[in-house]
């Protein structure tokens, strides 16, 4: 795992290594984001938290000798239905990197990392009264060979299993809120 000290000690990315367009590419409209009826938890208050987490992910991938994440947000992914598997990992990219990489090898595209509460929404479940479904509008998906891609999903992709950094760090608040009372299995270990 990477520590924050290791990440900040690294050299900044050169222009050639940067394949994304900054905070606006990660969280479009983050300056004018609106939270509706308290169902979508607020971010940590730092609009650059998704950007920082993305940079930590890139650093971890680079240290492992893996390709950097490709930005595919210009062409939203479509066609995901209720039977498609989507394992959603909320929060820290480094805590679950081995799981994301192995899952990407065994089930390419099914492992999706959510780095910001702005990338997901909770909607009332159609199958379980009183529960919620977690829908992902954006995420980093993992494929064989350690390849990853920042993607948008239109319509949003439904999570079929959720885990994340529930009790660690600043993101634990929004992670716990998004994962509360879901209609899909949720793991915290």
Global pTM exceeds 0.75: no
Question: In the prediction, which pLDDT does 32 show?
Answer: 34
Question: In the prediction, which pLDDT does 45 show?
Answer: 41
Task: Tell me the CA distances in angstroms from 25 to 16, 21, 53, 122, 137, one per residue in order.
Answer: 17, 5, 14, 22, 13
- In 3-state terms, what secondary structure has residue 170? coil
pLDDT tens, residue by residue, 14-59? 333 334 444 334 444 333 333 333 233 333 445 468 899 999 999 9
Q: Is the pLDDT of residue 108 over 60?
A: yes
The answer to the question of residue 115 being in a domain is: yes
* CA distance linking residue 64 with residue 45, whole number of Å: 31
The answer to the question of residue 63 being in a domain is: no
The answer to the question of residue 23 being in a domain is: no
Question: In the prediction, which pLDDT does 28 show?
Answer: 42
Q: Is the pLDDT of residue 121 over 50?
A: yes
The answer to the question of residue 132 being in a domain is: yes
The answer to the question of residue 107 being in a domain is: yes
The answer to the question of residue 6 being in a domain is: no
Question: In the prediction, which pLDDT does 75 show?
Answer: 94
Q: What is the dihedral sign for C-alpha 150, 156, 157, 158? A: positive
pLDDT tens, residue by residue, 129-175? 999 999 999 999 999 999 999 999 999 999 999 998 876 555 568 88
| Domain containing residue 154 | 69-179
Choose between 7 and 120: higher pLDDT.
Answer: 120
**Average pLDDT score over the chain:** 78
- Give the chain's domain count: 1
The answer to the question of residue 112 being in a domain is: yes
The answer to the question of residue 102 being in a domain is: yes
Question: In the prediction, which pLDDT does 22 show?
Answer: 40
Residue pair 140/115 in contact (Cβ under 8 Å)? The answer is: yes
């Amino acid at each position: 795992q990477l520590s924050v000290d290791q990440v900040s000690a690294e050299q900044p990315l050169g222009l050639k290594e940067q394949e994304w367009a900054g905070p606006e590419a990660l969280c479009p409209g983050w300056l004018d984001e609106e939270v509706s009826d308290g169902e979508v938890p607020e971010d940590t208050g730092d609009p650059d938290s998704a950007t920082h987490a993305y940079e930590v992910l890139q650093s971890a991938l680079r240290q492992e000798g893996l390709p950097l994440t490709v930005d595919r947000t210009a062409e939203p992914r479509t066609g995901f239905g209720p039977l498609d598997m989507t394992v959603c990992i909320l929060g820290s990219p480094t805590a679950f990197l081995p799981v994301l990489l192995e899952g990407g090898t065994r089930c390419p595209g099914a492992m999706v990392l959510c780095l910001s509460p702005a990338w997901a929404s909770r909607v009332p479940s159609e199958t379980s009264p009183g529960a919620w479904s977690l829908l992902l509008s954006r995420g980093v998906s993992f494929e064989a060979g350690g390849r990853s891609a920042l993607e948008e999903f239109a319509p949003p992709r439904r999570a079929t299993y959720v885990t994340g950094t529930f009790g660690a760090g600043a993101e634990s608040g929004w992670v716990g809120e998004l994962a509360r009372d879901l209609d899909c299995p949720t793991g915290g270990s």
